[in-house]
Amino acid sequence: MAQALHPAAVEHLPIFITPPGQIDYLFVGVVVFLILIILIIGNLYFQLHAVPERMAHRTSKVQMEVVAVLALISLFTHNHLFWIAGLLLAFVHIPDFSTPLYSIAQSLGKLSGRTVETTGDPALVHDEPQKPVEEPAKAEEPATRETRGEGI
């Protein structure tokens, strides 16, 4: 049984007008398209937000962590000033001050007879037993009370 057209309808209906109870392919296509566009734009947004953090991977660990925190703060607060600050901080090369200081500490530790672990943690300092320093032989000096072990 053929369905009769409504008297006000035109003879040639466009393809996107579906009969009742049928699948609306245009609607399904638009929904799929919108979901894909939202996912693509969201991915691009997150990729753009991670640019300062990726740039900071070439710098020191502390600088990278500060840039990563600034990027996260700007992501959650939608305050772009944090993102710009992180981007500028990622561009700037901050010199490494800690490595020379740890080297100086290790050298001073060796001179004083103590060893410092290479991790740079000051809590890991060990006292080594003092090795007696061999002095060159001297001429015999008269024994005093101090050198004989007697107190003053």
Looking at residue 35, its pLDDT comes to 98
**How far out from the chain centre does Cα 70 lie?**
10
Domain spans in the chain, listed from the N-terminal domain onward = 25-91, 98-127
Summarize pLDDT for 58-67 with one digit per residue, the tens.
888 888 899 9
Q: Is the pLDDT of residue 6 over 90?
A: no
What average pLDDT does the chain have? 80
What length is written for the chain?
152
Query: What global pTM score does this model have?
Result: 0.51
For CA atoms 36, 42, 44, 46, give the dihedral sign: negative
Identify the weakest region by mean pLDDT among 11-20, 29-38, 83-92, 110-119: 110-119
For CA atoms 73, 74, 78, 81, give the dihedral sign: positive
- The single-letter code of the amino acid at 129 is P
Summarize pLDDT for 86-129 with one digit per residue, the tens.
999 888 887 778 888 899 989 998 888 876 565 555 555 555 55
Q: Is the pLDDT of residue 56 over 80?
A: yes
Looking at residue 50, its pLDDT comes to 87
Q: Can you read off the two tokens belonging to residue 46?
A: 């997150």
Q: Can you read off the two tokens belonging to residue 140?
A: 């015999």
Looking at residue 43, its pLDDT comes to 95
pLDDT-based confidence at 30, cuts 50/70/90?
A: very high
Instruction: For residues 71 and 53, give the distance between their C-alpha atoms in angstroms, rounded to a whole number.
Output: 7
Instruction: For residues 98 and 52, give the distance between their C-alpha atoms in angstroms, rounded to a whole number.
Output: 23
